[in-house]
Structures are given as C-alpha cells and as structure tokens.
Amino acid sequence: MAYSDKVIDHYSNPRNVGTLDKSKKTVGTGLVGAPECGDVMRLQIEVDEATNTITDAKFKTFGCGSAIASSSLATEWLKGKTVDEALAIDNMEIVEELALPPVKIHCSVLAEDAIKSAINDYRVKNGLPALELEKSHH
Amino acid sequence: MLKLPIYLDNNATTPLDPRVLDAMIPFFTEVYGNAASRNHPFGWAAEEAVDYAREQIAQLIHCDPKEIIFTSGATESDNLAIKGVFEMYAQKGNHVITATTEHKAVLDTCKHIEKLGGRVTYLPVNEQGLISLEELEAAMTPETILVTIMYGNNETGTIQPIQEIAKIAHKHGALFMTDGTQAVGKIPVDVIADGIDLMAFTAHKMYGPKGVGALYVRRKSPRVKVTAQMDGGGHERGMRSGTLNVPGIVGFGKACELARLEMAQDAERLSKLRDHLEKELLTLEESYVNGSVERRLPHVANISFKYVEGEGLMMGVKDLAVSSGSACTSASLEPSYVLKALGLSDDLAHSSLRFGLSRFTTDEQIEYAIGHVKEAVTKLREMSPLWEMHKEGIDLNSIEWAEH
C-alpha cells in the first residue's frame, strides 16, 4: 500500500515520542488498542491547571505507519489546546490531514480514543467525573 | 553498487532467470504454432518443444514425462488434484485429510468439496509446523481417498515428513498428494522415492515464468486419474483442456533443467547466507525463529521481533521487499493463520517478517538487510509502549486491553 507523504513524514520523524510521569496529578494517560489487534497507542498529556491548557503531549505506539502517524499528529495538535478543545478533535480530521485510506480509518479512531482516554484519566485524577464517551466502533 | 530496494520475497515469486528468458523468446514470435495442431510443421515444432520441456521437468522430479499435466500454475493444480480425485474416487469414499498450515489453494478447495458433501480432516501442527504421524494414522478411515500435505511451507519453510506421510496414506488405501510449490527446484524432490501420487508445482517459484504450472499424476502403481475441471479439447490426456502455453512451458522446462543442475550449489550457498542473516537478527533481544530450524527449506527465514508490529516494521525496512505475518492491510486485522497454527500468539504473529532468498541474492544484499532490519526494530521499539512495559517488567497479559 502506498502511504501519503504526511504519513511517511510522521513515521520517519515522529513528533513527541516519549513518556511523561504518569504518577503526576497533572498528567493524563490513555492506553488504547490491544497487542493481538496489531495496534496499541499510549498518549499522555500534561495540563496546566490554572488555564486548563495542554502544555505537553507524548506518545508511544505499537502499530502500523498510519497508527504511528495518527498518534504523532495528535500530540502535535494537542499542545497548546485547552482540554475542551482537545475533546473536540474528531478522528475524521486526522483522516483528512494524513489522507488515510478507508482500511486505515481505525488508526484515527484509536488516536481519538487515546486523546479522550488521556483526558478522562486526568479528570478522574483531579476529582472530576469521567466523561461518557461515545462507544468506539472499530 | 547496491541497488535498492532489495528483493527478499522469493517465496512469493522469483525473478526470471535470463537463461530461461532466452529459451522462451523464439516461441513467441518464430515458433508460434499450437501444440495441438497435428497437421502442419508449426504445430509439430510447438509440440516438440513441449515434449522436450516435459522431459526436463520429469527429470527434475524423477517421473515419466507423460505424468506431467500442464496447468496455469500451482493453484490450478491444487484445485485439479483435490476436486479431480474427489470426483473420480467418489465411489470409494469422500474423506480427505489435510493440515491447517496448507496454502489457501488447498484449504479453500477442501472447503469447496465439503460443500459438495465431502468430509475433510484438518490436522493441527506442532510449534515447528510439523504434523503428527500418529494423528494422521488415527484420522485415516476406509473412506479416506486422499491425503494432501504440502512439501515445504510457504511462510516458514518447514518441510513435512513426506515419505512417512505417503506410507501411512498408502497403507490405508488412500492417494497421497503434495503441494510442492516451494520445494520443487529448491531441494531434491523424487516422486518415486517419496511415494507421491499427485504433486502441484509451478514455474515462477524456481526462476521460471508466471502463468504456467504442472500437476504430476502417477501413471503406474497405482494408475491415478483425476476428473477434468476444465472441459474442452481434451488436452493433457483429457485431464486439462486448453491450448498449451508453449513459451511458458518451454521456460518452465528450462527452469527445471537449471534447478536440477544447480540446486545443490544454490542450496548450500543460500542456507549459509540465510543462517548468517538469522544469526545476526537473533542478536536482537526478544526475536524468535518461526517454524522448524532442523527441517527447513534452505532459502527461507521467518522471524518474529516481539513488541514491534509487522506492518510498521515493513515500512521501516522500506529498502527491503519482504513479507509480514501481519495482515493489517486487510480490514480483518487477522494475523497469519500459518503462524497462529504453530501456536504463536497474535502479537508475535503480527510481529514477524519472512525473508525468502534466491539464486540472485548476494552477500552484500544480506549484509545490508541485517543492518537495515536491526536499525528499524531498534527505532520502533523505542517508539513502542509494549517494549517500554516489557523493559519495566510488566506482564502484558496482566493488562486488560480494550477490545476493538
């Protein structure tokens, strides 16, 4: 399968690969996917409590090039956004930006799930109720 | 100068040997007759070329030239053998025995005859990919008409105990068929010594052209017959109608002749090269050989690199043309059924690469491949949350993964 230039760019030069201290109250961690399905994403955000803004984002992904690119792109988009803005990121925006083919849409869904899961982890750590998330369908 | 990408997917198909092409060329433009035209020199010349190719092929597998039925390839040969035996021997029985690691051309053909009222036993394999002779023996019934077990596996290279399997089939009055696609031309295959009654094989896995294959059908002790699956002019002793692909057949013949003459030296060189590749790649932590190391085709290596995903890895080794056990490209996300049959977990099956070497693979190419794979695996592991967890001593099975 031919990958788009943007997927190749994120795969070759992934942004924000790494690990944040998940024990910190200001860090939210989302771990989604499953090894037997061939993709696992871990996405982490660090939130500035005063402004409710995401100051840092890191990822590690086990998966195909599109999964790696989707999570790399997500971390780029997350930095500087408020938590509410981050929640509004839709997987189809990732699909469009990376020009993912239909068989790779699940990678973008996984990235959206990872964002929401990280935000929920942050919320729960800070005494906020977890948000009801739309049940993913991949 | 090393040309990239490097082709290491020779189990999928091999390049055409230039000597094969040279043999074929006149049969496109000069000797273009129909081998079935018996009434003029154009037809005679084509028939003569086909007969010569039949001899070249027969010599390689130690059979009589008349026992070679030309087809379009191994898939057609598998279909013709299994469906043809099922129809021809319907009065004797309806039971076929095969294995779970067979090629789809065999498995799906078996599924087809099940729909027609046949009964099929799919034998499991051990972690090396070998069937159990005891289980085969136990599965034999008076209704068993055919045992079909491949010679060497396309994904792992594992070589089944063909002679022993044939003996068990014959002891119970069944025919023995083998899909010899990956083995013929790579290791000595002798239909007499091995006790093979039917064998599917193809030109393009042994430096011949695509689109031409053969089915070996034994003529003596026992005389085997298959019901034709293609009706028409009654070519190939009535078993396979259709105008013969003369240039293809000439190329197939030449490829078999070259294989017969050069197989021993090719196999020796390639197994050394393969072993070197494998030894180097196994220096990476958490990497494993899939299939049998002792009973294996000389040109194949299948290795899983735990904690990296196969398709991501394929993208990382973009300078190599290899194959992965991950089927992430299809919507199903199902990893290789062959590797799963060996007992590999889904994640290890997803993390595998298959290397297939050829007569044209050089030392320099393998050296490059080693460095390239090591670099990609290392880079992807640095990016892999599973690798990080593994390094922290977390048991991945203890985690409740979200289903998707």
Average pLDDT over residues B345-363: 93
Q: What angle do CA B339, A34, A100 make, to 5 degrees?
A: 95
Average pLDDT over residues B314-320: 93
b/e sequence A74-90, b meaning 16+ C-beta within 10 Å: bbebbbebebeebeebe
Measure the CA–CA gap between B345 and B349, rounded to whole angstroms.
6
Greater pLDDT, B395 or B280 = B280
Whole-number pLDDT of residue A138: 44
Measure the CA–CA gap between B336 and B358, rounded to whole angstroms.
23
Whole-number pLDDT of residue B329: 47
Contact residues on chain B for A62, CB-CB shorter than 8 A: 307-309, 312, 383-387
Asked whether residue B201 carries a pLDDT value surpassing 80, the answer given is: yes
Q: Which residues of B are catalytic?
A: 328
Q: Is B29 annotated as a binding residue?
A: no
Model ipTM over 0.90: yes
How far is the alpha carbon of A80 from chain B, nearest alpha carbon, in Å? 23
* pLDDT, tens only, B125-136: 999 999 999 999
**Which residue from A14, A32, A103 is facing B383, i.e. has the nearest CB?**
A14
Binning pLDDT at 50, 70 and 90, where does residue B326 land? low
Torsion angle (degrees, nearest 10) of CA B301, B304, B308, B313: 10
| Subunit contact A64:B315, Cβ cutoff 8 A | yes
Identify the active-site residue in A37, A88, A130, A133. Answer: A37
Measure the CA–CA gap between A12 and B274, rounded to whole angstroms.
29
Q: Residue B385: is the preceding peptide bond cis (ω within 30°)?
A: no
A32, A37, A135, best to mutate vs chain B, most B CBs in 10 Å: A37
Asked whether residue B332 carries a pLDDT value surpassing 70, the answer given is: no
How many residues make up chain A in this entry? 138
Q: Specify which residues A39 forms β-bridges with.
A: A34
pTM, two decimals, is 0.92
Q: Is B74 annotated as a binding residue?
A: yes
- Ramachandran region, residue A52 (left: φ > 0; alpha: ψ -120 to 50; beta: rest): left
For chain A, what percent of residues have pLDDT higher than 90? 86
| Subunit contact A37:B385, Cβ cutoff 8 A | no
How far is the alpha carbon of A43 from chain B, nearest alpha carbon, in Å? 10
Whole-number pLDDT of residue B331: 47
Q: Which residue of B has its CA nearest to A8?
A: B315
For chain B, what percent of residues have pLDDT higher than 70? 98
How far is the alpha carbon of A42 from chain B, nearest alpha carbon, in Å? 6
- Ramachandran region, residue A18 (left: φ > 0; alpha: ψ -120 to 50; beta: rest): left
Whole-number pLDDT of residue A1: 60
| Subunit contact B401:A36, Cβ cutoff 8 A | yes
Domains of chain A: 5-125 (3.90.1010.10)
How far is the alpha carbon of B6 from chain A, nearest alpha carbon, in Å? 17
Domains of chain B: 6-11+263-388 (3.90.1150.10), 18-259 (3.40.640.10)
Q: Is A64 a catalytic residue?
A: no
* pLDDT, tens only, B107-124: 999 999 999 999 999 999
- For chain B, counts of helices (H) and of strands (E): 14, 13
Pure H helices in B62-177: 74-88, 104-115, 133-139, 162-171
Binning pLDDT at 50, 70 and 90, where does residue B21 land? very high
How far is the alpha carbon of B324 from chain A, nearest alpha carbon, in Å? 12
Torsion angle (degrees, nearest 10) of CA B194, B199, B202, B203: 50
Residues of chain A with pLDDT under 50: 137-138
Q: Which residue of B has its CA nearest to A67?
A: B312
A64, A91, A98, A116, best to mutate vs chain B, most B CBs in 10 Å: A64
Q: Which residue of A has its CA nearest to B402?
A: A33
| Subunit contact B388:A113, Cβ cutoff 8 A | no
Q: Is B75 annotated as a binding residue?
A: yes
Identify the active-site residue in A32, A95, A107, A110. Answer: A107
B286, B308, B315, best to mutate vs chain A, most A CBs in 10 Å: B315
Q: Specify which residues B347 forms β-bridges with.
A: none
Q: Is B169 annotated as a binding residue?
A: no
Whole-number pLDDT of residue B311: 86
* pLDDT, tens only, B53-109: 999 999 999 999 999 999 999 999 999 999 999 999 999 999 999 999 999 999 999
Whole-number pLDDT of residue B330: 47
Measure the CA–CA gap between A125 and A78, rounded to whole angstroms.
19
| Subunit contact A40:B335, Cβ cutoff 8 A | no
* pLDDT, tens only, B365-394: 999 999 999 999 999 999 999 999 999 999
